[in-house]
Amino acid sequence: MITDEMMSHAAALLAEAINKSLPAPCECTHDYSTGFERKMKRLMRKVDHPVRHRVLRAATSILLIIFIGFGAVLSISAEAREIVFGWVRQQCGSFYDYFFVGENRNATQAKYYPHWIPDDCTLLVSYETSGGEEFIYSDDEGMLVQFAYISNPSNESLHVDGVEYEKHKIRINNDTGEIGIATVSTETNYVVWIDTDQNILFYISGKYDEDTLLKMATNFLKSN
């Protein structure tokens, strides 16, 4: 009969054997891309200063509410209120923070997926977030390619490197968006757009040219 003590002893011996078979930490090296390292540093800044990010978002919301309170046009214009209540972009250092202001009355549980991707893309992971879903790929140069959407933005925001990018407006499936082209070759480009009817924010980034990004965006489709 195998007792619990025997199982515990065997597990300890196995763990010790596995640890001895692993290489030394100094031998475990990997060269990450500059874009990946920047994204990780940005994430660490957010984790280290969560209060600061919440205060900035709250301050922006309060200013918008004050603006509405003193704006005669906004008090009578539903169209103007829609401009204020919705997705807002705020610059935070070297990146943009997209977040939703006001009550999202059009929240949806709809799911989307990348229908077309370049041939050199390999799926690494996909996962659901509190407000949507993300798909992470890797291209043949080891650069990350990201597809993301936020369909229920109450508790989620999007952070985009792009302050120093060359940007211009675009339209994706009749929705207004923006494409950003990096000014240095080590950074990834991006496209972000908003479905204003359902308040859904979409985002794609990768080291591809504008035509390829737009093809990827127009084929970011709703699941049946």
Domain residue ranges of the chain, discontinuous segments joined by +: 34-222
Per-10-residue mean pLDDT, the chain, length 224: 61 69 66 62 54 50 46 41 67 85 74 95 91 92 92 81 90 93 90 91 95 96 87
pLDDT score recorded for residue 69 = 47
Structure confidence at residue 20 (pLDDT): 67
Closest alpha carbon to 207 in 176, 192, 224, 185? 185
User: How many CB atoms lie under 10 A from the CB of residue 32?
Assistant: 12
Q: Which residue do the tokens 């990096």 mark?
A: 182
Residue 168 C-beta-side C-alpha neighbours within 13 Å: 4
Q: Cα angle at 217 between 212 and 219, to 5 degrees?
A: 100
Q: What angle do helix axes 50-69 and 34-48 make, rounded to 10 degrees?
A: 80
Overall pTM surpassing 0.75 (yes/no): no
- List the structure tokens of 99: 């977040």
Question: Do 206 and 216 touch, CB atoms closer than 8 A?
Answer: yes
CA distance 143 to 207: 7
Kindly state the helix (H) or strand (E) to which residue 102 belongs, with its residue range. none
| pLDDT of res. 65 | 46
1: DSSP letter? -
